[in-house]
Amino acid sequence: MKKIMIVGAGGQIGSELTVKLRSIYGGANVVATDIKPNDTLGGDGPFAVLDALDARAYAELVARYDVDTIFNLVALLSATGERDPQLAWRVNIGALMNSLEIARENGCAVFTPSSIAAFGPDTPKDNTPQDTVMHPTTIYGVCKVTGELMSDYYYHRFGIDARSVRFPGIVSNLTLPGGGTTDYAVEIYYEAVKHKRFVCPLPEDMYMDMLYMPDALDACIGLMEADPARLVHRNSFNVTAMSFSPEVIAAEIRKHIPDFVMDYDIDPLKERIAASWPNNIDDTCARREWDWNPKWDLASMTEDMLRVVGKKIGAGKY
Ligand code: SER
């Protein structure tokens, strides 16, 4: 990777990936783009407003900056997607297809995140294998399976260096996620610091995989820098660092805030979505093929989240 473009850089992953990539590859070599103007992404490198569905504007930027690697991070997430499936398909697949086509025309590598949402109710729930049944029941998951298949197709058919990981929920403290089923695992920390109380939209025993953002960023970069000769898989690798349920994360928070209270007000849509996803996935292939090795677990992540969120919102206590 020498000249990188991030599409959808204003989102939860992009806002932090931009900073990390610029620290490694140089500010001028990482072009951040987003559909909305952004005050921070232009600070130490190029930024452009770009609607990823506008193929001509997208292609012009790739040519202008002589881009060799595209991070396609544009997506409507799972819960938002269910509220407007047609829009979710148009945005998620539109951005994907433009990214793959522009990569084909310009000889770029492409990273597009897939998700645990690519799995469905008939997928084995525990220790979910890398290669298994994939019949998602959300439009977001359907887009992710399509993305995996199209990315592999472009690799086999056109030799495009397309790679991806199946992200679980990502916990972070710079930019909030939006419209996802795993968002509760971020919101809980803010509410714990602010009010010592959280109203959880998912049942107490609903297990899902999660990653802390520093590990998610390492996954993006580690996979794109991996020796292609070692890659048996490409689209897409299971990656995870921990699996927990709402009651487990609440118990961890109580180690720091003993009077933290959790109430439940179940959101039926999110419950249905979460129930269709794995409890915990097996990431052996990522570990074997490109040395994936996450560093954060629930305990260390919770300590760090409470400290950073506490500072951010002025409580200063954690
Ligand atoms: N975080 C996403 C969601 O909840 C899953 O990839 O929609």
Cβ of 98 below 6 Å from ligand 1: no
Site of tokens 């990390």: 20
Query: How many Å lie between the centroid of ligand 1 and the Cα of residue 105?
Result: 31
Say how far apart CA 57 and CA 5 lie, in whole Å.
13
In the chain, the percentage of residues whose pLDDT exceeds 70 is 99
Strands in 150-277 per DSSP E: 162-167, 169-171, 197-200, 208-212, 235-238, 242-244, 261-264
* Residue 167 CB less than 6 A away from ligand 1: yes
Give yes or no for residue 12 CB within 6 A of ligand 1.
no
Show which residues are catalytic.
Answer: 140
Concatenate the DSSP letters of all residues of 75-97 into one string.
---HHHHHH-HHHHHHHHHHHHH
Is residue 317 pLDDT above 90, yes or no? no
Query: Would you say how long the chain is, in residues?
Result: 318
Q: What is the mean pLDDT of residues 208-228?
A: 98
The reported pLDDT for the residue numbered 144 is 98
Confidence of residue 142 (pLDDT cuts 50, 70, 90): very high
- Evaluate if pTM is beyond 0.85: yes
Tell me: pLDDT of 76 over 60: yes
In eight-state DSSP terms, residue 117 is: G
Does pLDDT of 143 surpass 90?
A: yes
Average pLDDT in the chain: 97
Q: Is any atom of ligand 1 closer than 6 Å to the C-beta of 147?
A: no
pLDDT of residue 314: 81
Q: Is 31 helix (H, G, I), strand (E, B) or coil?
A: strand
Of the candidates 78, 61, 85, the one whose C-alpha atom is nearest the C-alpha of residue 9 is 61
Q: What is the pLDDT of residue 178?
A: 87
pLDDT single digits (tens) 96-127: 999 999 999 999 999 999 999 999 999 999 99
Position 318 pLDDT exceeds 70 = no
Where is average pLDDT lowest: 3-12, 38-47, 196-205, 255-264?
38-47
Closest C-alpha to ligand 1, atom 1: 169
Which pLDDT score, from 0 to 100, does residue 315 have?
59
Does the beta carbon of 123 lie inside 6 Å of ligand 1? no
pLDDT mean over 77-93: 97
Atom in ligand 1 nearest the alpha carbon of residue 78: 7
Residue among 181, 206, 238 to mutate when testing ligand 1 (max atoms within 8 A of CB) = 181
Residue type, 94: G
Give percent of the chain above pLDDT 90: 97
Nearest CA to ligand 1 atom 3: 180
Burial 152-169 (b: 16+ CB within 10 A, else e): bebbeeeebbbbbbbbbb
- Nearest-atom number in ligand 1 for the CA of 116 is 6
pLDDT beyond 80 at 292: yes
Segment 156-162 long-range contacts (CB within 8 Å, at least 24 positions apart): 158/104, 160/100, 160/103, 160/104, 160/108, 160/109, 160/110, 161/108, 161/109, 161/110, 161/228, 162/100, 162/103, 162/109, 162/110, 162/111, 162/112, 162/234, 162/235
CB 210 within 8 A of CB 168: yes
Closest ligand 1 atom to residue 81 Cα is 7
Strand partners, 30: 4
Four-CA torsion 87, 89, 95, 101, nearest 10 degrees: -140
How far is CA 295 from each of CA 51, 213, 246, 252, 292, rounded to the nearest angstrom?
35, 11, 22, 18, 10
Q: Rounded to the nearest whole angstrom, what is the distance from the C-alpha of residue 149 to the centroid of ligand 1? A: 19
**pLDDT tens column, 157-201:** 999 999 999 999 999 999 999 899 999 999 999 999 999 999 999
Say how many Å lie between the CA of residue 167 and the centre of ligand 1.
8
Question: Residue 172 C-alpha to ligand 1 middle, in angstroms?
Answer: 13
Closest by CA position to 248, among listed 286, 289, 214, 202: 202
Ligand 1 pocket test, pick from 143, 183, 206 with the greatest ligand atom count within 8 Å of Cβ, gives 183
Tell me the average pLDDT across 50-71. 98
Q: What is the pLDDT of residue 264?
A: 98
CA quadruple 19, 22, 27, 29: dihedral, nearest 10: -130
CA dihedral 290, 241, 144, 178 (to 10 degrees): -130
Distance (angstroms) between ligand 1 centre and the Cα of 229 equals 30
Q: Locate the ligand 1 atom nearest the alpha carbon of residue 169 and give its number.
A: 1
